[in-house]
Every structure is written in C-alpha cells, then in structure tokens.
Amino acid sequence: MAFLGRGNDGDILQIVSGRSVYGPLQLAPSGFVVGPNSVLSSQLMVFDGATGKLARAGDATLDALGNLTTGGNVLTSGNLTSLGSEVNLSGIVRVPQGRLLPLTVAEADGSPLNTETLSLIFPNASLISSGTQVSIVFPTAASGTIVGPGSSTDNALVRWDGASATVIQNSNAILTDAGALTLAQGISATDATVNRVIRPQVLVTTGWVAITDSQYLVLTSGSGNEVVLPASPVVGQEHLIKDAGGTAATSAITILGSGDLIDGFASVTLTNDYEALGFIFNGTQWNVI
C-alpha cells in the first residue's frame, strides 16, 4: 500500500474516505477517553474533571472476588449491601435515616480481634444489648440533642455553652459528693463572699471565743463574754454580734479585733441589753456598722 503526501513531525497518518491524510488527530466531542500512564491492579477508574474525556485512578479497589476497599468515607443514599463478600472501610459510613446496616467487625484477614481494640462510634446514640445482639437507638431530632465536651473535671458543675440549648461545657465550680461547693479564684463555701449570702450563725455560751470566717451572726448568751473577730479577714467580710441573752447592761460583752483595730480601737463593747453591732473589714481595719 502506498501513501501519498508528506507530513510534518508529530503528524498522524489518517485514512479519510480512502485517502491518506497527514496532520493532528481531530476527535469528535464523543471521542476517546485518555487515561493515566499507570495504575494499580484492581484500582477503580474515575473521571478527572467534567469533560468526559480524562480518566484517573481512584482511591478505591475492587478485586476479582468482589471485595471493595476504600481509604475514605462512604456516603450512600441507599442500602449498603455486600453479596457474600467484604466491604473494607476506613473513615465514616453514612446511612440514610431509617435504614438498617448489618455490620460485622473483623480484621482484614478475618482473624479474631485479639491484639487490638476497634471502636464503633455512634454519636448521640444509646446502646441496648441483648446477648450477642446490640441495637443502636438514635434520639429524635425534634427534642434536640445535647452535646458535651470531650473531657471534663470530676464533680464539676455543667453549664450551657451558648443559647442553642444543645451544647454543654465544663465549669470551674466543683460540687463534691459530700455537698461542698467550691467556686473559682479561691472562693469556697468557707469564704466571706459566700457567707454574706448564707449567713451562718453561732451561739456563744462560754466566757471567751474566737469566731471563724464562716460564722456571720454571733449570738452571745452569758455574762462577761469576750468575742474575737477572725484573723486575716478579706475585704468586705462582715460579722454581726448581738447580746441574745439580754445581760450586756450588767455584764458588758467585749469584741476584740485579733490584731486589727476596730474604728481605731483595740476593742469595743456591748453595754445595753439585746444590743447588736455589725463589723465590716475595709482592708485595713474593722468598721462598726
């Protein structure tokens, strides 16, 4: 067979209507698909771009036995079914709401799970186990789903994070099993800030007593009592001392500052029956209020 004419470097010889033609190969819009130079065995092909003419190797493999292996997530709008073969997945398997997904977990070679632990994570779901069968129960979306933090502090109080009523977070407030409440920045159930709200009281029946930070209302009942205000008070700490026995007129009650002055004096006295004095610490000394 003889070919007429002469082409240039890179031209392709084409037989068009029985005649030899030299020149670049012209493909119709529905022409050939061009693929990569090399692929892996059993690797699936996917289109590269939207032209329908370029193909590349995909990230999934399908072997001769029908085993599908993928390195990414599996997103399906229908049932995920394997006809007697394996579906090897890594990532997230998403199944439409209301569909069932029978699932058996095994290592790639089918051996028992004896050297590693695999976790099946079903966010916001609860498990109901009966023998060897486990049911996954998902809450209804209408009632909302509360999501918590990845970790928390033992006995920490829980608080809302934002206004959606679906996210909770850890807090700095600790409520122990014994009912003791501790707040942040060193404030606890024994500090003055809390005591100004709960106002615990103590009844003094002995001749001398040193009150504590947690004793806001001090009632004296007896003769010749001496009451000593707490040492190392905090700014704003308050205490109220009252002659509850009605004997101060005949036997005065003395209040001392425990190293801190009271309006410039080392002590003050209650001299009237049923009299009461309040004391607040201003950071330098006690003030009578």
The pLDDT tens digits for 21-77 are: 666 655 555 567 778 888 888 888 888 888 878 888 888 888 887 777 777 766 665
Looking at residue 196, its pLDDT comes to 47
Question: Which of 53-67, 119-133, 161-175, 267-281 is the most confident on average?
Answer: 267-281
Looking at residue 201, its pLDDT comes to 80
- SS (HEC) of 76-91: CCCCCCCCCCCEEECC
Least confident of 17-21, 145-149, 168-172, 217-221: 17-21
| pLDDT surpassing 70 at residue 262 | yes
SS3 122: coil
Which pair of structure tokens corresponds to residue 8? 């240039």
Strand 226-228 relative to strand 208-210, pairing:
parallel
Residue 166 vs residue 209, higher pLDDT:
209
Q: What is the average pLDDT score of the chain?
A: 75
Closest CA to 226 of 195, 186, 266, 192: 266
Residue 182 vs residue 17, higher pLDDT:
182
| pLDDT surpassing 90 at residue 261 | yes
Which pair of structure tokens corresponds to residue 258? 């425990």
| pLDDT surpassing 70 at residue 134 | no
> Backbone dihedral region of 234: left (phi > 0), alpha (psi from -120 to 50 degrees) or beta?
beta
Looking at residue 166, its pLDDT comes to 81
- Please, which residues have CB within 8 angstroms of residue 225's CB and are 6 or more apart in sequence? 204, 206, 207, 208, 209, 251, 253, 254
The pLDDT tens digits for 148-183 are: 888 888 999 999 988 888 889 988 888 888 888 777
Class of the 192-288 domain? mainly beta
Band (288; pLDDT cuts 50, 70, 90): very high
What are the residue ranges spanned by the domains of the chain? 43-78+88-97, 145-186, 192-288
The structure's pTM equals 0.38
The pLDDT tens digits for 65-117 are: 777 777 776 666 555 555 555 555 556 666 555 545 555 555 555 555 455 55
Instruction: Let me know the angle formed at the C-alpha of 114 by 110 and 116, rounded to the nearest 5 degrees.
Output: 95
Instruction: Sort 275 into a burial class: Cβ within 10 Å, 0-12 / 13-18 / 19+.
Output: middle
